[in-house]
Amino acid sequence: MGTTLEPIALPDWAWERAEMRQALRKRDIGVVFRYVQQYGGASQARIATAAGMTQARVNEIINGRREVSKLDVYERIADGLHMPDDARHLLGLAAGREKRSGGAAFDLAAFPEVVRVYATQHSAAQEIQQQAREAQELDVLAVRGLGLIGLNDSLLRACLPREQRGKGLRVRVALLDPDSPALTRRAAEIGESAESLAGGVRLAEARLRELAETCDIAVWRYRMLPTWRLIRTDSTLFVGAFDAGWEGHESATYKVMETPHGPLFRGFRRMFDAVIDSARRSV
C-alpha cells in the first residue's frame, strides 16, 4: 500500500470488469471507490488525496452516507484516479486531456467503429430503413427473418426497390435451417416449438422467393446455433446478439461503421461470408 501522495493506477483489467463498468454507468462513486481499494490497494487517505477530498468525505461516500452529484467532482475523481477514456465515457464525461499509458486500446479515437448503441432493434428501425433505401448491398443474418424481411410490414421489405426491379441492389439473406438440430435448440431457448419456428423460416423463404423476379436476392440456410443478428447496408452494420434469454430484436443494437483499421466491421463481414460459404442456398 503506497503513501497518500503516490498516484493511484489501477491495472487495465480492473476498469474493464463488469461490476466496475456497472458502477460507473450508475455513477455510484461509493462502489467505484471500493473497487479502487480492492483492485488498486489504495487506502481511503490515498483516494482522498487523489480526488481532492477529505478522508472523512471519502469514508462517507464509501459507506453510502453521502453521494456525488456535481460534474466538477466527477471530473476531479476521474482525473485523480487516472480513469481511461472508456471509463470516463461510462461516467458521462468527455475524454481526458492527457493520454493514458497502456497502449492503443485506451485511445478510443483510433477505433471509431461503434458510433451508436440502441437499446433494441426497434429503437434503430428508422435509421436502418434509411440506410437500406440508399444501399447497393444488403446482407441479413437472422433466425427466421419474418420481422426483418419476410413479411410485407417487416423492417426491410418496404425498403427494397421493387418498382425499379431491384436495380442496383444485391440482397443476401441467411436463415437458420429448419431441419437442423440448432433450430430445435433455439426453439427451446425461446420457449417455442420447433415446428412453429421451422414453419416461420419456411414462410420467410416462400415470401422472399416471391421477390426473386423483382430483386437480386439470394437466401441460404445455415446450420450453426445463431449468435449474431446482422444487417449490413454497404459500409454500415447493425449488430445484435441472440441469447437464451432473449430474441435478436430485443438485443441492444450496435451501429458499426467501416474504418480503415478497425477490426469489427471487417470481422463481422468475414463471418457473414463464412456462414454463406458453409450454407445451402434455398432461393
224 and 267 fall within a common domain: yes
The stretch 56-84 carries a mean pLDDT of 91
Instruction: Kindly report, residue by residue over 33-51, the tens digit of the pLDDT.
Output: 999 999 988 999 999 999 9
Domain boundary among 92, 123, 156: 92
Residues 21 and 88 in one domain: yes
CA distances (Å), 149 to each of 38, 84, 155, in order? 49, 41, 6
61 close to 67: Cβ distance less than 8 angstroms: yes
Assigned domain for 103 exists: no
**Is 6 a member of any domain?**
no
Quick one: 132 and 185 in the same domain?
yes
Structural domain contains residue 3: no
**pLDDT on residue 106:** 45
The reply to whether 126 and 264 lie within a common domain is yes
Same domain, 24 and 155: no
Nearest partner of 225 among 253, 202, 244, judged by Cα: 244
Choose the final residue of a domain: 92, 122, 153. Answer: 92
Does 223 fall in a domain? yes
User: Is residue 275 a contact partner of residue 283, using CB atoms and an 8 Å limit?
Assistant: no
Would 17 be classed as within a structural domain? yes
User: Which CA distances in Å does 168 have to 154, 190, 258?
Assistant: 21, 37, 21
Per the listing, cell 481511461 goes with: 84
Nearest to 254 by CA among 117, 70, 99, 52: 117
Structural domain tally of the chain? Answer: 2
Do 268 and 160 share a structural domain?
yes
**167 shares its domain with 241:** yes
How high is the pLDDT of residue 88? 87
28 plus 88 within the same structural domain: yes
Confidence of residue 281 (pLDDT cuts 50, 70, 90): very high
Q: What is the pLDDT of residues 150-162, one digit of tens each?
A: 888 898 888 876 5
Q: Which helix (H) or strand (E) holds 33?
A: helix 29-40
65 and 131 housed in the same domain: no
Q: Are residues 242 and 273 in the same domain?
A: yes
Find the helix packing angle between 29-40 and 71-80, rounded to 10°. 10
Q: Which pLDDT band holds residue 101 (cuts at 50, 70, 90)?
A: very low
Q: Which three cell numbers stand for residue 176?
A: 437458420
Angle between helices 29-40 and 44-51 (to 10 degrees): 120
Q: What is the CATH number of the domain that holds 65?
A: 1.10.260.40
Is 162 part of a structural domain of the chain? yes
Q: Does residue 140 belong to any structural domain of this protein?
A: yes
Domain that holds residue 197: 114-281
Domain co-membership, 79 together with 118: no
